[in-house]
Structure 1
Amino acid sequence: MKERIMSKDLMNKIDALGAQEYMSDAQLAVFEEHLRGEHERLIVRQQEITNTSMKNPESISGDEADKANAIQSSADARAESEKNKAMLRSVSVALQAIKTRDYGYCIKCGEEIGLKRMISQPAACRDIECETLEERKNKQNPAANLKIS
């Protein structure tokens, strides 16, 4: 629900600019402000996740159910942390694209991503067609998505 509110707020700000050339300075400024706020929100959330998941679930005393709950909570926190880190990377890439004036253009084909998509997904880096192809490719070869650390 919060994302819809943010998208609606972003849409209202873009609409208030009136007719503009695609990714005009004014539009870029609105997206940059939005993405900086999102970046800050994600950093704060990452710190919260880190602070609450610092407890080692193995060190919890109590019955087996308490330990199982702690282990599950720890796993959930790790998953949320990974998702949050991925979102942070995407937002950082989008902010960099604003600096280089590549924001709003597909990294694969160079075409405009489109205002509607950028409003709904401000960190998008591919147009719908290229994103769909990328998702299909990843579904066909899930091992390609695994990170080796």
Structure 2
Amino acid sequence: MATKTSATKSPGHLLTEKELLAMPESDYMNAAQLEFFRNRLKELEQEILANADTTTENLRETQFVPDPADRATIEEEHALELRTRDRERKLLKKVQQSLALIDSGEYGWCEETGEPIGLQRLLARPTATLSLEAQERREMRQKLYGD
């Protein structure tokens, strides 16, 4: 029985975070890295959609509770769940936009400066569209001018 000597050499192998970070800068946003982030974004998309389905089921299970305090607790839990899903709905849009950027070859590059966003930043926030410096400048402008 043959064994693989290196998992990175097998076709269709997804990189680990360690393998991703070990690659030279010249490999930035190569096919393997793009596939890594496509997979990460697809997993996030599926998780958000599954959470939405769970919320729908939870809200369908209407409970009649005669105690006003219990009813208020249930209503507050539903409101919190709906706020969470609203944030996830916005994140889902960003995830889908990031997947489109992968398809167009623009993923991983700052939309403001054209510079690399950076692997560390994309690992922390796969939907980032700005480099850390550009994001900091944008936040400073918003703070100063209320943009």
Q: One fold, TM greater than 0.5?
A: yes
User: For residues 106 and 99 of structure 1, what CA distance do their matches in structure 2 show?
Assistant: 16
CA change 1:25–1:12 in 2 (3 A) is same
Q: Is residue 125 of structure 2 the alignment partner of residue 126 of structure 1?
A: no
Q: Residues 88-107 of structure 1: matches in 2 within 5 Å?
A: 88-107=92-111
Structure 1 residue 110: Cα displacement? 1.7
Query: Per-residue displacement from partner, 1:53-78 (whole Å, max 9, x unpaired)?
Result: 2356xx73311101110120111011
Is the 1:105–1:126 Cα contact (8 Å) retained in structure 2? Answer: yes
Which of the pair has more CA radius of gyration?
2
CA change 1:53–1:130 in 2 (3 A) is farther
Is the 1:53–1:77 Cα contact (8 Å) retained in structure 2? Answer: no
Normalising by structure 2, we get a TM-score of 0.77
Is the 1:10–1:119 Cα contact (8 Å) retained in structure 2? Answer: no
4+ long deviations beyond 6 Å? none
RMSD (Å) for aligned C-alpha atoms: 2.3
User: For residues 61 and 136 of structure 2, what CA distance do their matches in structure 1 show?
Assistant: 40
User: For residues 43 and 84 of structure 1, what CA distance do their matches in structure 2 show?
Assistant: 9
Count residues in correspondence: 131
Partner of 1:60: 64
Identity %: 24
Partner of 1:87: 91
Normalising by structure 1, we get a TM-score of 0.76
Deviates more, 1:126-135 or 1:87-96: 126-135
Structure 1 residue 112: Cα displacement? 0.9
Query: Per-residue displacement from partner, 1:91-128 (whole Å, max 9, x unpaired)?
Result: 11110000001000112222210111111111111111
CA change 1:133–1:84 in 2 (3 A) is same
